[in-house]
Amino acid sequence: MLCVAWWLPVSGCATATPTAVSSSQELVGSTRAYSVLPMTDGWSKLSGEDDSDADLVLVHETTGTTILVNVHVGADQSIDGIVSGRRTVLEEEHEILSFAEERSFLARSDFAAVSVAKYRLRRTGSEGWFPVLVGTAQGQGAVVEVFGVSDRPRELEALFDDILGGLRVPAAGAAPQ
């Protein structure tokens, strides 16, 4: 059994098989609501039984970084709602030591808005902290959430930037292709 980001309520343990992902290998989500093009070596995609709701789980074993991609389908889904909901979930079992959010547009998607939230969390009743980065992108008919966690802040930020930089979603209101 492989536990992925066991300290977070959005992930869990999985009986999973890691499959190496080559740099520049495009990964397409099961709902086709997104694709991601990692440019850094060392990623593995987990597949198999999983008790998380993640559409895609990537691990970078060298750095201990885990990336989960969640898809929230529906016309009523919004960046604001997903960001607020994620913060509420994190507050249930963690003390939020710091939080910062920036909004912009995805590099690989025309006019697809994205929120990047940076958290420093401490598990209730413990010492120390760990970083969590969450990218939330508004696509056509879905919101895609990229959730990154590690106990190594510098490595997490670089690897998260790699994944978010390679994220492509059809923009809300875009013409069908």
Structure token pair of residue 159: 């690897």
Domains in the chain (CATH in brackets) are: 2-21+36-168 (3.40.1000.10)
**How far apart (Å, rounded) are the C-alpha atoms in residues 18 and 59?**
8
pLDDT of residue 125: 81
31 vs 81, which has greater pLDDT? 81
pTM (two decimals):
0.86
Spatial contact of 155 and 65, defined as CB atoms under 8 Å apart = yes
Does 6 have pLDDT greater than 90?
no
The residue behind tokens 């989500």 is: 29
CA dihedral 71, 66, 153, 97 (to 10 degrees): 60
Percent of the chain having pLDDT more than 70? 84
128 vs 116, which has greater pLDDT? 116
Does 3 have pLDDT greater than 70?
no
Does 5 have pLDDT greater than 80?
no
Does 107 have pLDDT greater than 90?
no
